[in-house]
Amino acid sequence: MIYLDNSATTRPSPEVLESFTKASSHFFGNPSSIHGIGMEAERLLRKSREQAGSILQVQPNEIIFTSGGTEGNNIAIKGAALAHQNRGKHIITTAIEHPSVLEACHGLESLGFEVTYLPVNADGFVEAKSVKNAIRKDTILVSIMHVNNEIGTIQPIEEIGAIVKDYPKALFHVDYVQGFGKLPLNIDKSHIDLCTISAHKIHGLKGTGLLVVKNGVRLFSLAHGGGQERSIRSGTENVAGIVAFVKAMRLAKEQQNEAVDKICELKKYLINQLQSMAKVKLNTPATGSAPHIVHFSVPGYKPEVMIHALEESDIYISTKSACSSKSADESAVLIACGKDRSVATSGLRVSMSYETTEEEIVFFSQQLKKVIQKLSEVMG
């Protein structure tokens, strides 16, 4: 099997599964319980929080464990908006954010908030000056993703953060789900107030993630209850999932240091192969994009037909974000980039991991050529 849909989810690593099983078996207590078993679980939870903080270079108490990227983004956006609506109701984001950001913003619009959706250029880049031009006295939140989950564009987060910091009423939220473990991001240097990460994008388990909430940032809780996670996200903590997630974080950072050059080379090879195919249109920018994502279109060919044809060779790729892949055929990201409809309705995404091999990318390239050739013959 050649699995090239790692931006949707990754295969959990054996070390992560082992950590989860051990924690589930030996530290099953409720961390809020005051007896010995509960206190053991609480100590393990505290250690995990310290390790996560160390990896991200933030304070341990700035780590809020969540169920993943969608919940983290919703807590950040809705929590910030509801907590600070008395000082303004204006939010800034981009037209190519993850659905969990865009839909959260749409929900807030129904409550009377005003949202500015910044445009992007043909490669999916948002210019920092467009943030500066859009920001107002009543702006309370700017939410911009680090790496686009569909085409891989890297946004100028540090530059944008420098702009937002000059507006003390505005918080800066970054969706770091696709970037973590692939690209560095200094949260403090970028003046980020809120930052989202998900476990299952880095060989962790589904249903775990975190939100960095910098000290001094006030959020309205979306889950009131026992006061866990600084009363931002109440509920009994998923200790085993958190332990496994932090293990995945450590492994991802090690691989980032050791193996990122390898997937950069694989990406370069794949882009060269795609550019040699007459019918293929490349959507991922050749520069300024993440090392693991390559997005392209084959206009005139339905992406689901291409995907199922490749699946016959035991190759698995996707069309776009898994959170929107069953919705309308047209890619909202590609439309926002100004692509014509034939390109926007025929997009395909290859997303690699550190486990991806050169042999797999070579074989994929060969099979893709064969599939396009076969479909060309069928369609005349």
Specify which residues 117 forms β-bridges with: 93
| Residue linked to tokens 């939100």 | 211
- Helix, strand, coil proportions of the chain in percent (round to 5)? 45, 15, 40
- Tell me the C-alpha distance between 111 and 89, whole Å: 10
- State yes or no: is 105 an active-site residue: no
- Tell me the C-alpha distance between 125 and 280, whole Å: 22
Coil vs helix vs strand at 380: coil
Instruction: Catalytic residue, from 105, 195, 264, 323: name it.
Output: 323
Dihedral over Cα of 253, 259, 265, 270: its sign: negative
Q: Would you list the DSSP string of 232-265?
A: TB-S---HHHHHHHHHHHHHHHHHHHHHHHHHHH
Q: What angle do CA 329, 335, 340 make, to 5 degrees?
A: 90
- Tell me the C-alpha distance between 4 and 348, whole Å: 11
Q: For the chain, state the CA radius of gyration.
A: 21
- Tell me the C-alpha distance between 219 and 216, whole Å: 10
Under a CB-based contact definition with an 8 Å cutoff, are residues 187 and 58 in contact? yes
> What residues are annotated to the active site?
323
